[in-house]
Structures are given as structure tokens and as C-alpha cells.
Structure 1
Amino acid sequence: MQTAQIVIGLSIILFTYLDFFHTTLSGNGFGIFSRIVNQILNRIMIQNRTRTIFKFSGITHLLMTTFLWMLLLFIGTYTVFSAGEEMVVNGTTGLPATHPERFYYTGYVLSTLGIGDFVPGNDTSRILTGILSFSGFILITTGLTYLLSVINAVLSKKQLAFLISTMGKDVEEIFQFYKQQEDLENLVSNASGLRQQILQNASSYLAFPMVNYFLSKQHESALVVQLARLYEVLMIIKLDWKKDSVQHKKITALLNGIEKYLELGLEDPDAATHSEEELKTYRSHWMKYGYYFENHLEMDRQFTSSLKYAGWNWKEVYRLKTVSQE
């Protein structure tokens, strides 16, 4: 029974660390446990979009995920130290520790405090105490490093959103911003830098998946909204140029960057209900300029999914500044 309980406790600890390191260091998105937890939290946040809690979505995801990692680690460690009376004893009397005292011992082992009033009572416990105290130190230091990296990625995400928003406050202004340029000189000269920033933020989806859940109620700082607007305008502007022109190639490169951003996203294209007819209604906006928008179903579905799970929709993308905002 003692051996089985130790194995169960160590299994919980191993599962926790696999999920933790997969999320923080692998560069391949969330671990299974973290993904489920954050998807549930995201749905709660979206349902409360008009409330204050929406403004703190990112930090809530980060703190809740970290808390659950620590909780699982604590549960696994406590299970190990509760496997037998001799696993933890009083440092002075040598008597077996009570359950509250084992709870206390578990806490200071994981925090590496090492007070010494309670000590491991056998060799197995001594070995496990050494390993677990070191593992607690690793989780804390790695977690802090991950936190700083997430904050930097969030700032980069907002910076790109603000950059695109300076071209115009809605699709109409962005469209006019490019149409007024002779030979698209601004786009041609800045396309490479903008594409690089888009791809840099795309990689953040994988390296720091938590960034996806730092949501915004403001159009200017919501990257997925700004990218959707830019995508819609570029798809129209591209129709003015021949395929072998520099302008067409630069626009195509930017569109490819946006597609890669969505491809590396956390939301599957089937994660939200997509209405092609509704989107066609919004895109009829371009008919007054004589343009017909050629739909790309896969991209449209991916955008719909990404917009929904960031708290937005196509109506917000096409909302003009002349329309009062909620």
C-alpha cells in the first residue's frame, strides 16, 4: 500500500511537470491539462465580455494555470509524504508527524525553506525530499521566467495592433490610406517589416500560448481585429495590380504572413460556427467601389474562430467609426 501511494503521488507530480514544461519550454503550445483549463476559462471570459473581468482575462489565465500547477504538485507531494508514518517525523522527538504537520512539511519542502522542525524518517523519504525540494525550485524559477516572456510577447502583440490601427480606425480608412498612395510606395517600403512583426507574433502562439488569452475590449489593441481589417483591405487592393508587379507580390507576402498567423493559432477552424452568407453581406461594402471579394472558406472559418475566442466577430471588423460603438 505504501509503495502504491508513493507511485500515485509521483505520477501526479510527473504529469504536472510534463504539462508545465510542455507549456513553458517546448514551443509547441499548451499541454493537455493547461489547454483544457484555459479553454474553459476563455469561454467564461467571453460570456462576461461587458464586465470588468474581461479586462483582466490574461492575468486570470496566467495566475489560475500557475495555481493549478502548484496545487497538483502539492497534492502529489503530500500523497508521497503521507504514504507511511515514517515518511515524516518530528525533528526533535522522532515521533511520526500528524496529517496537518505533513501538510506543513510538504509546503516548506516545495518552497525550499528547510526549517528543520520536521524531517524525513527513512532513506526513501530523504531521497524524495531532496528531489522534490529541487523540483519546487525549478518550477518557481522557470515560472517566473515564463511570466516575463509572456508579458514581453503581450506588449509586442499590442504594439503590432496599434501599428495597424494607425493606418485607419476601420476598414474604410485603411482602404483609403492605401488607395491614396501612388504605386503603394508606403506598403512596398514597409511590407517586409510588417510581415516580420506578424510572423514574430505568430510564433508567440506556440512559444507562449498564454498570450492568446490576454484579451482587449478596445479595437485599437485587439490584434486579431486589426489583422482581419488589414486582410480584408489587402484582398481588395491586390485586385488593382498584376501578378508580376512588385505591389502584388508585396501584398501577397503580407497576406501569407497573416495566414501563417492564423494557421499557428490556438483555435481550430471548426471551433466556431461560421456563416458565409453573413460575411458576404459585410463584404458587399466593397461593391460601391466596383470590387467583388473572392471568398476563401478556410481562411474565413479560421478568422471567424479566432475572432470569436478573442471576444469579437465580423460585425466588429466591418464596424465603421461613424457607427456608435458599444
Structure 2
Amino acid sequence: MLSLFIGTALILLTVVDALWTTLWVNGGGGPFSSRLAKVLWWALRKCTSEGRSWPLGLAGPVVLVVVFLGWVGLLWAGWTLVFSSDPAAVSYVGSGESPDWTGRAYFTGFTLFTLGIGNIVPQRGGWEIATVVASGSGMLLITLGISYVLSVLGAVVTGRAFAGSVAGLGDDAEGIVLRAWDGERYAGLTLALSTLSSQLETMSQQHLAYPVLHFYHARDANTAPAAAVAVLDEALTVLRFGVPASCRPPESVLEGARASVQNYLSTLKGASVEPADRIPRPPALDRLRTAGLPTVSDAAFARSLEALERRRRTLLGMVETDARTWPPEQS
């Protein structure tokens, strides 16, 4: 009887966790999968050192595969316990003998993966119904798992495309501002910022739906979403608070882009990303002045940055969690 209760609990845990993770858009990861993902990320982060970031490059695929295998293993173990709770639940065809634990695990695996029932069959009555339910749960889990993997891979591509778009504007925040200057204002950034805002909103929703995305680490900074978001927001900070109002892109475009960044930052709780303990280095307005671009005074810019302290510390925490340095660069 104990094995029946434990097995049922494992089955319910697996099904709830899988449905929670794959179908609940705002729910984040399930209780099992989210904790397992964080443990794996922590372990791979410990294996990472300066100049040796390849373990983090494996984090996303490893987390995805291990979580899926964890679901399969728990469901398999749960149903094996259920079918072991009654010695007469299943028997060998012909002889009618009751199989041992290995035989019951074999029967359960055959059933879960919808391969049939092999040379072991369930007894008539309730155990036949249990076999049908087990087969359905296995088919459901495999279907959800495959769909989830494909969706995550598509979202990874979206994030890399966003990072590439930001890299095309400049290597860092000041570089973006310098390239966008046309001699009078930054009007040429309007379309680019609108496009990036749309991409970033899509990424935010994908990170809410698929928290495992936070564990995908790009070795190339040009395809790293974390670095790209930080570079973009620092550029927006310069454009919004570091240059005269007469030169800025339209206010609606700037504020829309900044709101998109904030929405993305709000998804970081799913990856346990916390604001850094220190304030990151501010953008260098002197670099713009040297190139002949108009800027506000350092004192006025510093006052504006004070109001953005928590936002910028969150950006720094995100960048450092991704094993990168500040100021963020895409080069």
C-alpha cells in the first residue's frame, strides 16, 4: 500500500510540474524543474572561471535535457511503484507468474513509451484501466516535452537575433550614440529603437513562458541577449538623460524602449538574478564630447543616474550572472 501512495505522489508531482512548466505562461518553472535547473546552473557556474566559460555554454541544453529526463524518470518510477503495490497487478503471458521489480519496470517502460505491453500483461479490471492511464500519461509527457524543446529553441534564436541587431548599432552604449549622430540629432534611431522594443517585448514573454531561457549562455558576446539588453539600456540612458532634449529621438520611442527593457528585467526573478551590491560604472560622456556631440553637464547626468540606481544594479547583476564584465560590450 505504501508503494501505491508514493507512486501516486510521484506521478502527480511529475504531471503537475510538466503542465506547470510547459503550459502556464506566467507560472515560471514548476517546483521540481525550477529547483533542478537552478542547482545545475549553480554547479556549472562553479566550474566557470575567467577565460573558461564553456561550461556555461552547456547550461541551457543540459538543463533542458536533464529536466525532461527527470520528468520521464519520476513518471517511470511512480508507475513502477503503482504496479508493484499489488503482486497480482501484472503477470507473464502464458505462465501467469508474477514478475519481479525488473519485470514491472520493463512493463511500465513499455507502457509509458506506448510500445505495447510486451510479454507482461495487466490483470483484468482496474489494472487494465491503470495501464491505459499510464500509457496516456507517457504520451502526454513526451508530446509536451518535444513541443517545449522546440519552443525553447525558437526562443533562443529570437534572443540571438535581438543581440545581433543591437551589436549592429554599436559595440557599446557610447558607440551606439556616436554612430547614430547625424550632425544635428539622433532621428535615425527611431525605427531601430521601435524594432528593438518589439523584439524585446517578445523576448520578455518568452522568458516568462520558458524560464529555462535564462540558463542559455552565448560564448560570443554578439549573440548574448544579457549583454545586448545592458548595452541597449545604457544607450537609452545616454539618449534620455545625457544629451540635450532638442537632439533626442522622439520621447515616445525612448520611453517605449525603456519600458521594454524594464519588462525584460522583471522576468529575471525566474533565474534568481538579483541586483548587484555595487553601482556599475556610468557611461562616459567625455567620449561624446571629444567627438563634438552635445551633452548635458556631468552633474546633471549624475543626478539622473541616481534615480536609476536599482535599475542599473539589476543590469549589472544580470551581466555578471551571465559571466560577463561591465561595462557591457558586444565585440
Specify if TM > 0.5.
yes
Within 2, Cα distance between the matches of 1:69 and 1:108? Answer: 16
Matched, 1:274 2:277: yes
Deviation at 1:224, TM superposition (A): 1.2
Q: 1:136 aligns with which of 115, 135, 138?
A: 138
Within 5 A, what are the aligned runs for 1:308-319?
Answer: 308-315=320-327, 317=328
Asked whether 1:83 is paired with 2:85, we answer yes
Aligned amino acid, residue 248 of structure 1: E
Check the 8 A contact 1:42/1:309 in 2, yes or no: no
What residue number does 1:307 align with?
319
RMSD of Structure 2 on Structure 1 (CA): 2.3
SS of structure 2 residue aligned to 1:264? helix
CA-to-partner distance for each residue in 1:96-145, whole Å, 9 max, x for gaps?
11111111111101111114310112422211111011110111111111
SS state of the match for residue 184, structure 1? coil
1:258 aligns with 2:268: no
Q: 1:320 to 1:132 in 2, by over 3 A?
A: closer
Matches within 5 A, 1:285-296: 285-287=284-286, 289=289, 290-291=297-298, 292-293=301-302, 294-295=305-306, 296=308
State the aligned residue count.
313
Aligned to 2:292: none
Distance 1:183 1:260 in 2: 28
The residue that corresponds to 2:293 in the other structure is: none
C-alpha separation in 2, matches of 1:166 and 1:22: 37
Structure-2 separation of matches of 1:244 and 1:180: 10
CA contact (8 A) 1:91 1:117 kept: yes
Deviation digits for residues 150-206 of structure 1 (CA, Å, limit 9, x no counterpart)? 111100000000000001122332121223464322222333222111100010111
When structure 1 is superposed on structure 2, of 176-185 and 266-275 the one drifting more is 266-275
Superposed, 1:28-39 pairs within 5 Å as 28=26, 29-39=28-38
| 1:44 alignment counterpart | 43
Give, in whole Å, the separation in 2 of the partners of 1:51 and 1:247.
40
Q: Is 2:248 the counterpart of 1:248?
A: no
The sequence identity of aligned pairs, in percent, is 24
Q: TM-score, normalised by structure 2?
A: 0.87
Asked if structure 2 preserves the Cα contact closer than 8 Å seen for 1:160 and 1:197, the reply is yes
Determine the C-alpha separation between the residues in 2 that align with 1:227 and 1:272: 15
CA distance in 2, matches of 1:243, 1:64: 54
Structure 2: stretches of 5+ with no match in the other structure: 290-296
Contact 1:215 1:222 in 2 (8 A): yes
Alpha-carbon contact 1:241-1:247 (below 8 Å) kept: no
TM-score by length of 1: 0.88
> Where does structure 1 lack aligned partners over 5 or more consecutive residues?
322-326
Checking the alignment, whether the CA contact within 8 Å between 2:185 and 2:246 is kept in structure 1 is no
